[in-house]
Structure 1
Amino acid sequence: MLQGNIICEEDILTSVCSNLNEIVMKTLHINANFDFYGLKSEGYYTIHNKNKSFEDKRIDLNMRLYFDEENENEFLYAYILWFSVNPKKIGIGSLIINEIIEVLKHLTNIEFIIIHPKDKEVKKFWIKNKFIEDQKLNSDKRININTRRILSYQI
């Protein structure tokens, strides 16, 4: 829905979900059925896929798009809470993450993406995909989550 010349966040979120569905269909040949929920008043929307697996193929993505407190009509960053894909170790996860980054670059004005890797193997995956440890984000007051041990990708 257009509000003047501004595209409202629901349209952006719908476009992000649609693009994510296309990426997963193209890559894994399954309908992930991405959707979003949340309230602007909470400061973020959550994007997730309802269909997680089909036979030996699986994708699970749960991420939040947080609003900029100074400009409440713009998203500031994405926080990937959970990402997993199967089959593993053949490049599909990296391909999908890079496509997700491109979608977010083109459909939002976010400045960065953050992740909390749960272990060394997961951290290695994210570093391989150009996420870095960024100490200055630890003191960034615009981030509404625990910033210890985060990796980030600057857009």
Structure 2
Amino acid sequence: MSKKNSVAIMTTISAFLFCAVIVAASLSPLAGTGAAANQFNSAGMWSAVGMILVLYFIPFLVYMLGVDAMRYVMAVLCGFGLLIHLSSAGFILMFSFFSDHLLSEVIFVLGVSLAAAAVNVIWFVAAFRSGAEKTSVNTLT
């Protein structure tokens, strides 16, 4: 599989999981934590999902059109996503430990957030693996 296809697949999965974190959080007790929290099926939730999709789609489209340097812009955005998902996972753990809500009420959001963080790490591998390593592995097998 080519590097461009790997990046495309991982970017799509990352965008899906980022949106899934937003939707899952709006379905959990986290939705009641403050005035800025999104309720499920609210305009705020859909605008957050739409904004994430636009922020994924624009650099992805430019990259797919052949601007290889956009991979570095996407890497910065992926790093921000990794930071967001890991800090969200930490917040969710703290929320469950220090509130009246059980961990079982937010475990799905925690799992999706950690899965999104893992996908972002895999995205870096897919985007920046060298061609020499790939060919040497193919010749050994």
TM-score bracket relative to the smaller structure = 0.3 to 0.5
Q: Which has the larger radius of gyration?
A: 2
* Structure with higher RCO (Cα < 8 A, 6+ apart): 2
Question: Which structure has greater strand proportion?
Answer: 1
Instruction: Give the structure with the larger helix fraction.
Output: 2
